Chains A and B, each alone.
Chain A
Amino acid sequence: MIERLRKIAIWIDDRVYVSKIFAATAGHHVPRTSGSWFYVFGSGTLLCFMVQIVTGICLALVYVPSSGQAYTSLEYLNYQQQFGWFLRAMHNWGSNFMVAIMLAHLAQVFLFGAFKYPREMTWISGVVLLLCTLGMAFTGQVLRFDQDAYWGLGIGAAMAGRVPVMGPAIVHMMLGGPIIAGETLSRFFTLHVFVIPGSILAIVSLHLRLVLTKGINEYPVPGKLVKKETYTEEYEAEIKQSGVPFFPKAISKDLIFSGLVLMGIVFCAAYFGPAGPHGIPDPTQINTAPKPDFFFLWLYGVLSLMPDYMETVVMLTAPFIVIGILFAVPFISNTGEKSPRRRPVAVLSVLFIFIVLGAFNYLGTYAPWSPKMEAWTSAATPTNYLEGRSPLERQGALVFHNKQCINCHSIGGEGGLRGPVLDSVATRLTGDQLVRQVIQGSGNMPAYGKNLSPPEVAALVAFMSTLHKPTEAPARDSTRSAQAASEIKQPNTTAEMANAKR
């Protein structure tokens, strides 16, 4: 019986070359030093991609790529289909992990000089894979057809629309018409499900083929320089002398890491759940604060903080410059030192880029440039700012809400961050200066003179004059004697009395 099975197996192997393919791929020898914990990120990214394919196929069984039903089908998954939410969460967290691990892979490859001769094409195919993955992330965010998707796409289209001459045509092609509609979703569905994943499969094959033919990078040793004339010989000699088969030696760490990544995805999916959908994509729903997913938060921060005069230039040239630099990396530094210990510029560049991206991402999470349009009715005045205040000052706190000052200015950690925090405004501005600021505005602050009645101004200023720490004296007009000041600032007497009491 066993002999017969063996024969069948040999017959099949003889026709499809399973064992030969195995020997040539998994069985190939790699430098002993490459079996390192630093070399696990590539396979980790591939694992995430496989998770995305499996969960993506399952999602595609339910998802309806039409503008009318996409949102409903996501709600169906979240609230009706057994474990539908978990499927969405797995796909969402799979993509988060994929982008994060891919960035780690990119940083590791860059720091270890793996892009140098003779692996330029491996790096270039990797850059294309990075762009494809970001393309998957963006198109995936659009398929979650909610308010974030709608406005994210709107911003993408608006940026594309700034291209000179071609702009409108590009937008038309991107959206499948002049507006975001059913055709738009069909286009992004096609890109997300067929075009980009197909490209990724093809380019991953090339990427892995190159890893096989040009070999995996050996662990860099400081002082061991890459020379075009001798590198290949040295590499082959090292493999012959101390190489280990990829399977089962070097792969073991990859497998352990992949297992941890899988557990991480499952844990995050079970614990944090899916993302959204955050509201139907209806442009008439104005009380929304759409935000992109984390891989584009930094871009959201950059675009929000950029001065408007440089917007068009930066939007249309920066992506090409950045991508161009990524492609050019192996040609800028093709040979020489590989070890990060001897490449301070490379190390500092990576640190700089991650810190900048991290800082913009952090800013993007709380968007201090954006007023909080709901704050005036929902952010309660901190109770310690009302304690012991006079009736006029309490009315001032109400004016502060009713005229929506709190949407841009925070007090006690409540409210927007668009304008200065006002917790200790009374130490910076005198009553008169506050009146002037409120009535005339300045800088980014609009003038409120026409929107506030004199009693409202008086109450508001009385309230703001109380905003200082008990240990800090309020600002005083040094050009006036104490007596004259008190005479002119009569409407604020209650405020000052309250301060004097404190």
Chain B
Amino acid sequence: MMARLQIGLAASVGLAITLLAGCSARLPGQPTEAERWRAPNEITDFNQLYTQNCAGCHGAGGRLGAARSLNDPLYLAFVTDDALRQAISKGRTGTNMPAFSEQAGGHLTDQQIELIVNGMRAHWSKSDDFKGVELPRYSVDASSTATNNDIATKALQAGAASRGGATYKTYCSSCHGSNGDGGSAGSIVEPNFLNLVSDQGLRTTVVVGRADIGKPDWRGNVPGHPMSAQEINDVVAWLAAHRKTTTVAVSKVEHSACLNMK
């Protein structure tokens, strides 16, 4: 009896020692390096940075968010690194894209912004898919990426806007309605909407589309007939021209609110 007890004891001690020391398996409670707390400006993991800073609007995993899908190889082939860097650090004035760099009041360091840009490229780019495809240029001119509604851009667009109407009817009216104010995809000439998006944002959407929600890119609006560079410029100018009616619509909102208060 005693001997059997001793053997059993020795065996269980041996087993415990093997389990604790010899076994390379990690116990589930052991903290991992990933769980280690880091100050927000020391986070260098792309997934963590994206999830904490971008996923709210651009969607988990860069898809199906309210804002532009970033997990989109076509978009990543279309946009330049510099434009991405600018958009993240300084935001897009007049739109819902806020500035994230520390200098602009956000809390990302320049290095972290660089990590996000590189991370999007590394995780979501498929540049091979667009070899030999002639992509439209990212921007019409440098100034139009920086500001919305600026005078120079408007002057440039004045002529284009008159041609844009016809281009719209050809390429966009099947989803957005004959005048742009309805259809299955909803109005895109709604002044309040246009006041919340930049011209570059419109251009990007016209060219790249939203593959994640089924909006075609510049090649797919009319199958087999991609939009030309001129047509893209024109339709963006035509859309931008609809912003002018803003004040009327807004006063109605305020008016109705006042009515309700009384």
CA distance A25 to B217 in the complex (A): 87
CB-CB contacts below 8 Å: A46-97 with B = 75, 78-79, 83, 85-86, 89
Closest beta carbon of chain B to A88's beta carbon, Å: 9
- The answer, yes or no, to whether A250 is at the interface (CB within 8 Å) is no
Measured between beta carbons, the chain B residues less than 8 angstroms from A143 are: none
CB within 8 Å for A398 and B67 given contacts A271-B28, A435-B256, A455-B195: yes
Instruction: Select one of A269, A270, A455, A497 contacting B191, CB under 8 A.
Output: A455
Instruction: Select one of B30, B98, B107, B255 contacting A85, CB under 8 A.
Output: B30
Measured between beta carbons, the chain B residues less than 8 angstroms from A377 are: 52-57
Measured between beta carbons, the chain A residues less than 8 angstroms from B190 are: 390-392, 491, 494
Task: Select from chain B the residue with minimum beta-carbon distance to A272.
Answer: B29
Closest beta carbon of chain B to A94's beta carbon, Å: 14
Task: Type the 1/0 row for B33-55, where 1 means its CB is closer than 8 Å to any CB of A.
Answer: 10011011000000000011111
Measured between beta carbons, the chain A residues less than 8 angstroms from B33 are: 79
Measured between beta carbons, the chain B residues less than 8 angstroms from A392 are: 186-187, 190, 192-193
Q: Which of B79-87, B114-122, B246-254 has 4 or more CB atoms under 8 Å from chain A?
A: B246-254
- The answer, yes or no, to whether B220 is at the interface (CB within 8 Å) is no
CB within 8 Å for A274 and B261 given contacts A390-B187, A395-B196, A491-B252: no
Task: Select from chain A the residue with minimum beta-carbon distance to B20.
Answer: A83
- The answer, yes or no, to whether A489 is at the interface (CB within 8 Å) is yes
Closest beta carbon of chain A to B14's beta carbon, Å: 18
- The answer, yes or no, to whether A242 is at the interface (CB within 8 Å) is no
Measured between beta carbons, the chain A residues less than 8 angstroms from B57 are: 377, 380-381, 398, 401-402
B260/A433 in contact, CB under 8 A: yes
CA distance A280 to B192 in the complex (A): 45
Measured between beta carbons, the chain A residues less than 8 angstroms from B187 are: 390-392, 493-494
B259/A287 in contact, CB under 8 A: no
Q: Which of B58-66, B154-162, B228-236 has 4 or more CB atoms under 8 Å from chain A?
A: B58-66
- The answer, yes or no, to whether A451 is at the interface (CB within 8 Å) is no
Measured between beta carbons, the chain A residues less than 8 angstroms from B186 are: 389-393, 494, 497-498
CB-CB contacts below 8 Å: B127-181 with A = none
A378/B51 in contact, CB under 8 A: yes
SS class, residues of chain A in contact with chain B: helix
CA distance A389 to B184 in the complex (A): 10
The total number of A-B Cβ pairs within 8 Å is: 180
Closest beta carbon of chain A to B214's beta carbon, Å: 10
Instruction: Select one of B250, B256, B261 contacting A488, CB under 8 A.
Output: B256
CB within 8 Å for A270 and B28 given contacts A375-B56, A378-B55, A491-B252: yes
Closest beta carbon of chain A to B106's beta carbon, Å: 10
A391/B188 in contact, CB under 8 A: yes
Closest beta carbon of chain B to A486's beta carbon, Å: 11
- The answer, yes or no, to whether A397 is at the interface (CB within 8 Å) is yes
- The answer, yes or no, to whether A279 is at the interface (CB within 8 Å) is yes
- The answer, yes or no, to whether B103 is at the interface (CB within 8 Å) is no
- The answer, yes or no, to whether A278 is at the interface (CB within 8 Å) is yes
CB within 8 Å for A79 and B31 given contacts A278-B37, A379-B56, A392-B193: yes
Closest beta carbon of chain B to A150's beta carbon, Å: 13
Supplied contacts A86-B27, A488-B256, 5 more A-B pairs, CB within 8 Å: A273-B30, A378-B53, A380-B55, A389-B186, A459-B196
| Chain B residues engaging chain A, CB cutoff 8 angstroms | 20, 27-31, 33, 36-37, 39-40, 51-57, 59-60, 64-67, 96-98, 107, 182, 185-188, 190-193, 195-197, 213, 246, 249-250, 252-257, 259-261
**Can you list 26 contacts pairing A with B, beta carbon distance less than 8 Å?**
A79-B36, A85-B30, A85-B31, A270-B28, A273-B27, A285-B40, A287-B40, A378-B55, A380-B55, A381-B66, A386-B64, A386-B66, A389-B186, A391-B188, A395-B66, A395-B192, A395-B196, A406-B56, A431-B256, A432-B260, A439-B257, A440-B261, A477-B260, A488-B255, A491-B190, A491-B253
